Amino acid sequence: LGQNDYARRRSLEGNTRMFRKVNAVYFSPTGNSKKTAITMAEAIGEEVETIDVTVMPSYAEFGEDDFVVFAAPVYAGRIPNVAKERFEKFRGSNTPCIIIATYGNREFDDALLEMADMFSGRGFVIKGAAGLIGRHTYGEIQVDRPNEEDLVQCRTFAAQAVANDKAWPEFEIPGNRPYRDGMTKGSHHPTVNESCIKCGLCVRACPVGAIDEDCETVSDLCISCFRCIRNCPVGAKEIITEAYLKFAADFTEKLKERKENKFFL
């Protein structure tokens, strides 16, 4: 769909409800969840408030006249523990929302169901759910996604979710209970090379405080999100161990076939 088609669809579907506030709340170490959450939120309302819990916890209460888009990445088939801990601080009061799990072309497994259970138990009414493809943290997997085609799909879905008369659990969200075992800590830990200028960006931006004042990774804390690698302005953060490089190459080959986004209403 092009932008004109998208605008016409919103009109045809009667998406005329005005919300007091549209919010995009996301845990997004490498930007996939942020991009999709903001895209959907902007499709719902002209003024969007963003709440980034990637580095710092936040707290907010929402009412019936608010709309919230929650987004997080999938780690080993679950949302990261740190994301869950930060999302648990938010409360709704019959507040409509969309939940998004972004994943790197493997599967989202139990992550969406886990989010649905969590937010429905905190006063939110789930109007739609999405498992969205984004660049994988490891290897060279779907490196150009989410692309514009993906974002157009997000905009159309957001409009449909707002107009949706149903709310979960009236529609099915894939997953299993009990949830599969998630990731307790990362397996691949970035190092710092001689290019480091000690700017401290990686220290300040690490979601779990796993980088010390010398820009070295504290492996016991690291969740292997690779935020530091993606954001370093001089390319000083890297992971070049033989074990990781082999794993990344094998993983890239395994997940080379494109998958499509999945939407649930």
DSSP 76-109: TTB--HHHHHHHTT-B-SSEEEEEEEEESSS--T
Report yes or no: 36 and 50 within 8 Å, Cβ to Cβ: no
At 120-131, the pLDDT tens digits run: 999 999 999 999
At 27-61, the pLDDT tens digits run: 999 999 999 999 999 999 988 999 999 999 999 99
The pLDDT-based confidence of 248 (bands split at 50, 70, 90) is very high
Can you tell me the distance from the alpha carbon of 200 to that of 216, in angstroms, rounded to the nearest whole number?
A: 11
At 143-161, the pLDDT tens digits run: 999 999 999 999 999 999 9
Report yes or no: 99 and 68 within 8 Å, Cβ to Cβ: no
The partner residues of 158 in beta bridges, in order of sequence, read: none
Can you tell me the distance from the alpha carbon of 197 to that of 184, in angstroms, rounded to the nearest whole number?
A: 31
The better pLDDT of the pair 155, 3 is held by 155
How would you label 84-99 residue by residue, b for 16+ Cβ within 10 Å and e otherwise? Answer: bebbeebebeebbbbb
Q: Is 64 exposed, middle or buried (0-12, 13-18, 19+ CB in 10 A)?
A: middle
Tell whether the model's pLDDT for residue 140 goes beyond 90: yes
The residue-averaged pLDDT of 7-15 equals 42
